[in-house]
């Protein structure tokens, strides 16, 4: 089992020292979903929400979330992001909307937390904008799909 990186020998939390690491291109992709009632799903899919463009707002929220990650996750390094993309996919059969966030940087540390935070904030934004018509929505399956670059190499879920 790998040693946890955010704790010293005495078990105290600390921010990992990346000073001697090389700057490399890093890409992370995260995915999550929100399940809703058939009626809410149709409203969203047909863009019939009186609050406006829910997916457009959620896309901007996801991107903004990636940029705020180090402010939200205590030991996360602030990163300069080169590119962030948020995409949506409707799963008709189960009334699920998926959001996928891709985050890219050239840095000494990975960008996985930024992609995961982007997914989370995007989904929470969708919930917030649709909760007036459906409080039973379920946010689920937020996970890292893949990462490229860095010392630990590539990862695919």
Q: How confident is the model at residue 1 (pLDDT cuts 50, 70, 90)?
A: very low
114: number of Cβ within 10 Å: 28
Domains of the chain in sequence order = 24-156 (3.30.70.640)
Question: In this predicted structure, what is the pLDDT of residue 20?
Answer: 85
Question: In this predicted structure, what is the pLDDT of residue 64?
Answer: 98
Average pLDDT over residues 132-155: 95
CA distances from 30 to 74, 76, 92, 123 (A): 20, 17, 21, 12
Which residues make beta-bridge pairs with 156? 146
Q: Which residue is catalytic, options 53, 128, 134, 154?
A: 128
Q: What is the DSSP letter of 71?
A: H
Closest CA to 122 of 74, 64, 52, 48: 64
pLDDT in tens, 44-93: 998 867 667 999 999 999 999 999 999 999 999 999 999 999 999 999 99
pLDDT over 50 (residue 35): yes
Q: Is 128 a catalytic residue?
A: yes
Proportion of the chain above pLDDT 70, given as a percent: 96
Proportion of the chain above pLDDT 90, given as a percent: 79
């Amino acid at each position: 089992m790998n040693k946890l990186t955010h704790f010293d020998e005495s078990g105290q939390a600390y921010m990992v020292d990346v000073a001697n690491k090389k700057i490399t291109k890093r890409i992370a992709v995260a995915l999550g979903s929100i399940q809703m009632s058939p009626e809410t799903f149709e409203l969203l899919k047909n863009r019939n929400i009186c609050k406006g463009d829910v997916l457009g707002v959620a896309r901007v929220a996801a991107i903004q979330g990636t940029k705020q990650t180090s402010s939200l996750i205590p030991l996360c390094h602030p990163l300069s992001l080169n590119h962030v993309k948020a995409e949506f996919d409707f799963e008709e059969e189960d009334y699920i909307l998926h959001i996928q966030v891709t985050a890219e940087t050239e840095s000494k540390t990975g960008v996985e937390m930024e992609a995961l935070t982007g997914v989370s904030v995007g989904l929470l934004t969708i919930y917030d904008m649709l909760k007036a018509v459906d409080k039973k929505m379920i946010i689920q399956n937020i996970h890292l799909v893949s990462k490229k670059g860095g010392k630990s190499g590539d990862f695919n879920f």
